[in-house]
A and B are shown apart, each in its own frame.
Chain A
């Protein structure tokens, strides 16, 4: 009798398990449908370009919305977008954009110059409290308006000359201005839609939901299921719809690297957004056609709190910076072909590679430490290194801890904190050394160097130098490109001489891509204009 029970149960279970099984067609094997399945990491917080700040949001917003200019898919130089052409005044401060006649919103309205004016006004309105509004501060009067010092928006340097002509006046000639226009903060939004759904200054009013969203890009928002995916479909009314190859892009929010990898291996995704460090060697050996390791416009570094002992002494900071073997860190710890950083700004940004170099020299480091009053590390005060809880940061911190122990005979303690606690402590300057990273907002050295000015929110080291501030200020108004870069060189020399920061390496993006994805070009910003991407159709389909 019992045997019969067992048999019945087992059969029932087996039958149950087999229902609905069987290998179905994998999403990535259907290139003919031209549906790209991709993950950009986390769930986007929103897709309102005036509210969000993140990278996943960027990838989705640029599919849906287009600014005045667009990016060339290969090297990202600015190409005509909503504006078909533009002129620059001789002094480089006034840009006149001519919008194309066939630029339309997804509801059929034409995209007008006034749409841009109203969009800029919205992001700068103090009540909206946009976190990223500072991206527009190169525009005349923008900063004052956003701080509420200037009440009259007509004083701000943006004007709709007529329906299709837009004039933007800058504070000073800004060589990277056109690239800056590709940042989503400069993108137009459909004002009437936003007004209908709760008003211009209300965040998250629901206008970004699929049933309400109006945009002007190569794709339109089809659906957004929280935690599942965002689907965008080809916008046939887009002015350049003939270029768009893909019918749909499905953005999946998959945070865990190993899960991304499993979904990729299982044929559900065309990419692994970020490949786990332990998998790099395997992919190099077994799937070199899928693995991509590309330089990224981002710096990995430590901040020194220059208001606290012992890092208030520049000799200590220098000794710590000199006593590292960065090459060994990138080769043995991070393993993703990162570039050891002997300066702060990633090299080759807009023709700029820093002249300044940190000398890695243990002998000199010891000497400096002795001069600072700690010969052979004797009497060195307690020193704590703060980092946010992540495996990757821990192993780097441990390597550095060991190097300092070995080379300088000093002991430091490591402390990990959950992300928000770490940010809070950094902001409150409640640390001695703190891990950090910085991704450039636009391809120009300014985005890496203006953060160390005395007025920058991002500084958070307590370090300030008048001559440094003056150089950055001067660079902002210098028109001659050579002279401007020279000012940045001098600024970075000061920075590397004073070392409020300890550069460690320049990031690479380590990811995997299905070879069927075409027209994907690697670049330092990791931008891949979606309308140019295509999927190869396999012969047996």
Chain B
């Protein structure tokens, strides 16, 4: 297993380098630059700015400087912050939102999926499955404002926007509920469908019938015998899903005014904030690779048919 992990980690290095190079050069090829604003600056000022931000250096030199000093580089848009500072301040917010959403997604998704699979093609199946279908079809930018309208503007249960209460520092605040639910529902829908499919495959297997014949209780059959195999599709889905969730959602963060990193992922590209774009992309790339590795390990552990090689 150690060898497997080591090999995978070594494999990531060329992958990350490729991602860095592509991001860097694609940004530079895009028209416009960080200093273009509606009040245009003079050619002299532009030149001085390029010099101050090392944009006058040859591209390959800049690239090397960027990848070797990435966390300590200044953002172009927010010059008093470094890339590292921005990511370290904003990522925890996105990660927390993702974590809450994940908890909701997993608990609802697996619950509904299992229920649906127990009596396929009956109402017990149809109701959760249709709910899941609605969840998949309803985009977060509809769901979010809808929940906000009902639960904060009409009923006044939760604040409409924000993160972490008035001070912004509370570990859990009521303003975290709606965004987490919005984001969680979307993933719950997928997970419930995957769970249902996985469970249906397993529940018809011989060893389940054997377990039942041996007198195992219904709950024991589900929890001990079926879930382990039935959740395999969910596990492979979770790798990219977790990355997507904690990477933050641009839509949710914008709608609920949440200070997460998801917004920077999109906006830094629009702002031509060369350093921040590269920083955020590299951060996510690493995250995704890492999560995929974890998922692979989990899969081998859960599925005896797979081996580390």
Q: Which A residues contact B (CB, under 8 angstroms)? A: 1-2, 5-6, 9, 12-13, 17, 19-24, 27, 43, 45-46, 48, 51, 53, 126-127, 129-134, 147, 203-209, 225-229, 252-256, 258-259, 262-263, 265-266, 268, 418-425, 427, 436-437, 457-458, 460
Contacts and interface: CB of A to CB of B under 8 A. Distances in A.
B41 A131 contact: yes
Interface of B: 30-33, 35-42, 44-45, 48-49, 51-52, 74-75, 77-81, 85-86, 89-90, 93, 107-108, 111, 114-115, 118, 145, 148, 152-153, 156-164, 166, 168, 172-174, 177, 181, 217-219, 254-260, 263, 270-272
A458 B40 contact: yes
Contacts of A259: 160-161, 254-257
Contact of B168 (A17, A229, A423): A229
Nearest to A4: B219
A130 B45 contact: yes
B118 A2 contact: yes
B254 A1 contact: no
Given A46-B80, A254-B161, A458-B39, A126 B48 contact: yes
A452 to B, nearest CB: 14
Contact of A131 (B33, B39, B174): B39
A436 B38 CA distance: 8
Nearest to B53: A203
Contact of B78 (A43, A229, A266, A427): A43
Contacts of B161: 254, 259, 262-263, 266, 268
A425 B31 contact: yes
5 nearest A-B pairs in the assembled complex, by CB-CB distance: A204-B79, A227-B259, A420-B32, A266-B160, A129-B48
A5 B114 CA distance: 10
17 contacts: A1-B218, A6-B111, A24-B159, A45-B78, A131-B39, A132-B39, A204-B74, A228-B163, A256-B257, A259-B161, A259-B254, A259-B255, A262-B153, A263-B162, A420-B36, A423-B40, A425-B31
Given A17-B177, A51-B79, A262-B153, A227 B260 contact: yes
Contacts of A228: 163-164, 168, 259
Nearest to A252: B257
B301 to A, nearest CB: 25
A129 B49 contact: yes
Q: Interface majority SS on A: helix, strand, loop or mixed?
A: loop
Contact of B40 (A254, A420, A427): A427
Most chain B CB neighbours (cut-off 10 Å) among A134, A228, A421, A457: A228
B36 A255 contact: no
B268 to A, nearest CB: 12
B217 to A, nearest CB: 7
A124 to B, nearest CB: 12
Contacts of B52: 127, 129, 203
A207 B81 CA distance: 11
Given A45-B79, A204-B75, 15 more contacts: A1-B217, A6-B111, A6-B115, A17-B181, A127-B48, A131-B37, A132-B39, A203-B52, A209-B80, A227-B93, A254-B161, A263-B257, A421-B30, A421-B31, A458-B39
B162 A204 contact: no
B259 A131 contact: no
A196 B33 CA distance: 31
Contacts of B78: 43, 45-46, 204, 226
Contacts of A420: 30-33, 36, 270-272
Contacts of B115: 2, 5-6
Given A21-B174, A228-B163, A424-B31, A204 B157 contact: no
A19 B39 CA distance: 50
Nearest to A254: B257
Contact of A1 (B172, B219, B258): B219
Nearest to B254: A256
B162 A20 contact: no
Contacts of B90: 226-227
A147 B153 contact: no
Contacts of B41: 131, 457
Contacts of B89: 225-227
Contacts of A419: 32, 270
